[in-house]
Structures are given as structure tokens and as C-alpha cells.
Amino acid sequence: MDRSTHKRRFILHVDMNSFYASVESMMDPTLKGKPLAIAGNPEERRGIIVTCSYEARKFGVKTTMTLWQAKRLCPSLIVRRPDFQKYRMMSNRMFQLLREYTDLVEPVSIDEGYLDVTASSMNPVELAGEIQNRIYHELGLPCSIGIAPNKFLAKMASDMKKPMGITVLRKREMSTILWPLGVGEMHGIGKATEEKLKTFSIHTIGDLAKEDAYSLKHRFGINGIKMWERANGIDDRPVNPERASEFQSVGNSTTLAEDLDHEPEIKRVFESLAESVERRMKQKKVVGQNLQIVIRYADRKTVTRSKSLENPFHDKDIILEMALNLFKKHWNGEPVRLLGITAADVIPRENAYKQMDLFTFEKEKKQADVNRLISDLQKKFGQQFIIRGKWKAGPS
């Protein structure tokens, strides 16, 4: 049976709460409970607020507000520059967790996504509670979750209780819950469309739902029909994992049985993680273009670092080498509690290509010639006659 047309679909919309600010507070516990804003050019008063913590919002600080306005409202506001490398790492880990529940996961941005859990044996509310609890305790991040029979209603539901809310929205509840809301509060309707709708005396979602669909099509084109359908709770779009290609990653992390500060033991953990990442990349038939590591210390302070590679990779030796290099460069010597490796910006293996200059081409050509020679010798004298890095004496 096609889950997308199941008469009782269960769709979750997971929306991370104040994501960038939450990540910063998780990684620096001294920021917890304080008014925090993420802003470009924090040294300049005209810098723009990208997002802010709920503590800052209580003072009236909002996204897109200038820094000077925000500081006037909240003189104690703490400002941090955005670190998208860090946010992408945590986003990858969040989506990896979601995929433990279903393959039908569709990221729609770095901090939100849909899940189709129709086939799950768990009660959808209990499942949402477990996901929310795990994201909070394992990743240290809050989220809100909407539960509904389609994507539109799930999105609207997730916005109703923040932070850390779980909301169920049924189609039969639309007339009492959604229809009284202003039309500008409907997902998918921007400020310009809102103003245009008001010129036709459409002020609430209920007004839009009761409008003639063909009149809306005449005024707004195909978008008019889509708005009318959404206002009436009609949305048959499937949760489509294929739309997630730009968010895909393959990673693994492990919480250690005891805090480690002994390099040989830490290296063995990274070796195991590198093998796991390589195995999963081969299963998915993908290669990575960016390698990321996560280090969590005994005091729960978390550090993420990454490096983009010139050539796509999937081999565990390359993964391990890069992970160890990043670790040695950024480890402060304190005991670690959790380690992780993620291959990010992955693409299908058949789509991978190498931007090779002349030197790289000659180097790889020579390596290919060596590989062919080794293969020929092994075929003639046996697999153990020659192995990489060692030479065994042949028959005398």
C-alpha cells in the first residue's frame, strides 16, 4: 500500500528551537539561560540578528532586527558570530537520529524536517515524545514536534508550542484552531501575498478556506489553488527522502565507557569509527567531500571541526588520517567522553569527479601503474609474494 495515500497517515514535523543559539549554548554551558543572539558582523551596530535565544525574545529581540535595535531592547544581550560548520555538524547528527525511526525522512532546512511514521508500531505521540527526549538528552538541543495527517498541518502544529512542545492537529479541528488565525500566519503565505489577500477581504485562514477556489486561481494562478487546499487541510504531498540530497551525510559517534586521555586508545576508537563510516558509505554507494569530527569532553563541552577535501573520499584510511589530524590539531589534552566522525556533503559515487591538476594526474597515474604491477606479480607468484610496503623473497 502506498503510504502517501493511506487514509490515516501520521506525519511528524520536527522543528529545532532557536537552533543556532541552542547549539552555541549546548557547546558553551555558560551561555545557558542567558539572552543570546547570533548575528553577522557583531562588531558593527548595523549587523543583523540571524536568530536568538528565547531569553532574548522575552526582551523583544527578533530575527532580522539590527544589532543596535536589539541592544537597545536588551543591553545584556550576548552576541556570537554564526558558525555554520558547527551547525551543519549538529544538523547531520539530528537527522541521523531521525533516520533510526524511518527511512522516510525529508529535511527541508538545516534545522527542520518531516517524518512519515505511518508504518511505525509505536503510538505517534509516544514516538514524538521519545524523539524529542533523545534529541534533548543525546544532542543537548530542544525541539518542537507537530503531528498530523499531512505535511502542512504537521508544520502548522509544530509552531504552536515552543520551545519543547508536542502538538497534535487533526483536520476536524481546523475550523476551531486554524481558521480564526490571521491569513499571514498560514505556512507558505508571505507578507506580499498576505497584503494582496486582504485587498479581497480575505483576512483569516477561515476566509481563505471559504473562498471560491476558481476565483483564487484567477487572481493568484496555481498558487491560489494550493493556498485554498492548504486552508482546507488538503495536502497529499509524500515525505520524499530524495529531496534531502544536499543535507545527506554519513557518520557515527560513540559515547565512551570511560573518559579517555590516552592517545593510543583514542586512536583505536577513531579506527573503529572510520571503519563504520567507510562501511556505511559503501552500502549507500556515496563519497564524501567534507570530513567532520566531534569531541565532547568530560565536562560536556563539545567541539566540532571539519575539513573539505579536494577529492571525494570513502576509504577508511583517508577518513582515519583526516580525523586524527583534526583531533590532534584541536584536542586540548583533557579527557574525552564522546568521539564522532561524519562524512558530509556526500554525493553518489557515480557522480563523483576529481579536480586534478597536472601534478595530481601524474601522481595518480604512477600509483595506478604500481597497482597494476602488484596485481600482475600477485597473480603470477601468489597473493603473499608482495604486499604494499613489504617485499617477500620469491622462489629461488
The residues assigned a catalytic role are 112
Question: What CA–CA distances, in Å, run from 361 to 38, 355, 356?
Answer: 43, 9, 6
DSSP-derived secondary structure letter, 171: G
Which of 300, 303, 305, 336 is closest to 29 using CA atoms? 300
DSSP 250-300: EEEEEEEEEEE--HHHHHHHHHHHHHHHHHHHHHHTEEEEEEEEEEEETT-
C-alpha 240/C-alpha 103 separation (Å) is 10
Question: What CA–CA distances, in Å, run from 82 to 17, 40, 52, 63?
Answer: 16, 7, 11, 13
Beta bridge partners of 390: 387
Question: What CA–CA distances, in Å, run from 119 to 103, 133, 220?
Answer: 11, 21, 37
DSSP-derived secondary structure letter, 365: H
Annotated binding site: 15, 111
C-alpha 212/C-alpha 352 separation (Å) is 50
Residues contacting residue 71 through CB under 8 Å, at least 6 positions apart: 45, 77
Annotated binding site for Mg(2+): 15, 111
